[in-house]
Every structure is written in structure tokens, then in C-alpha cells.
Amino acid sequence: MALRHAVLAALLDEELSGYQLAKSFDLGVANFWHALPQQLYAELAKLEADGLVAGREVVQESRPNKRLFKVTDEGLAELERFAAASAKPSMLRDDLAVKVQSSDLVDTAAVIAQLHERADFARAKIALFESLLVKLRGEREEAEFLRDGERVGPYLTCLGGLVFERGYLEWCERIAGILTERRESR
């Protein structure tokens, strides 16, 4: 997947400025695609040049003007092509896993501390995803929303993020416990 597809997907529901897009990435898209704000601004410019998004300037009184972007028909066609193409398996690149891999030969105190930090981060992300899921489905029960909701894609990707963070939390807690037990028994 290219950043362009993640940006197009993020713009499906509404027009967004670059700033709003960056916030949207932080809240929803970041669970499956990370991008820095400057990468997003550069990608918006490329997408507009390629005719996949259309931008329009909004004049604001006491603030600088802003540009809002929306997906064009060509952008929707690009997402259609992307959705039809085979998906490559995800590859995990995780510094913490490399540190755990080397835990037999390094002082594990710092690794254990980092596992606890990452577990705390996972707990915060879990809480964020859970609240976002409630916001996305509104007053409906999940089964009803998933059956009848107008747009379930963002909800489904949020569920993926939630499952990932719960699994990572479980891994961090288990590995920290194992390394702590090994450290104390020596």
C-alpha cells in the first residue's frame, strides 16, 4: 500500500484540510498507516496534481485561508483498483522485539522497563479505540451497526487496531513477566 491510498481512504467521508487530515491520521488511520504531517501535505499535493483529489481554498476572516481536499471520481477509481489488487502480507518492524531478541546477552532492566512503557501505551490506545468505536456506531449496538451502518470501513479498521493493541499488550505483559522472573532467579 502506498501513502496515497491511505490518504484517499481518509478523505472518503468529508473534505479535510491538511491539518484535519493529520489529525484524522492520528486518531483513526494511524492504527494501520503512519505518516508525518509533512508527508501528508506532500502527498496531498501529488494527489491533486494527479487529479485524484480536488482542492479548494476557503477564505477565513481572522485566520489564514485553508485548502480543503476531497476525493475525485479518478481517486475513487484508484481506490477501486487498489482494493481489487492482491494484498501483500504485513511485515512487522519493531525495535522492542529486536531488544527482546537480544535479551539473553544484554542487561534486561531497560528492556523490561520499555516493555512496561509499551504496555502503558497499548492500554491508552485500547481506550482510544474503544471510545472511537462507540463514537462511530453512535447509539446502536455493534451487531446492528455492522449489519445496517452506512459506512463500516473506519469501524472495521478501528477493530483491527484494537485487536492489535490488545495482542501487543498481552505480549508485553507476558514477556516483561518472563524476563523479570529470569532476572530475579539469577
pLDDT above 70 covers a percentage of the chain that reads 96
pLDDT above 90 covers a percentage of the chain that reads 63
Gap between the terminal Cα atoms of the chain:
46
pLDDT (0 to 100) of residue 13: 83
- Give which of 2, 24, 31, 32 is closest to 69, Cα–Cα: 24
Mean pLDDT of 22-49: 81
Rounded Cα distance between 54 and 59, Å, is 17
pLDDT (0 to 100) of residue 103: 93
Mean pLDDT of 74-95: 89
Cell numbers describing residue 148: 445496517
- Give which of 40, 28, 33, 53 is closest to 128, Cα–Cα: 28
Residue 55 has pLDDT above 70, yes or no: yes
Beta carbons within 8 Å of 9's beta carbon, 6+ residues apart: 29, 79, 153
In degrees rounded to 5, what are phi and psi of residue 98?
A: -65, -40
Residue 173 has pLDDT above 90, yes or no: yes
Q: How confident is the model at residue 174 (pLDDT cuts 50, 70, 90)?
A: very high
Of residues 99 and 23, the one with the higher pLDDT is 99
Q: How confident is the model at residue 109 (pLDDT cuts 50, 70, 90)?
A: very high
Q: How confident is the model at residue 87 (pLDDT cuts 50, 70, 90)?
A: confident
Of residues 75 and 22, the one with the higher pLDDT is 75
Model pTM score: 0.77
pLDDT (0 to 100) of residue 2: 82
Rounded Cα distance between 28 and 82, Å, is 20
Average pLDDT of the chain to the nearest whole number: 90
Residue 82 has pLDDT above 90, yes or no: yes
Residue 35 has pLDDT above 90, yes or no: no
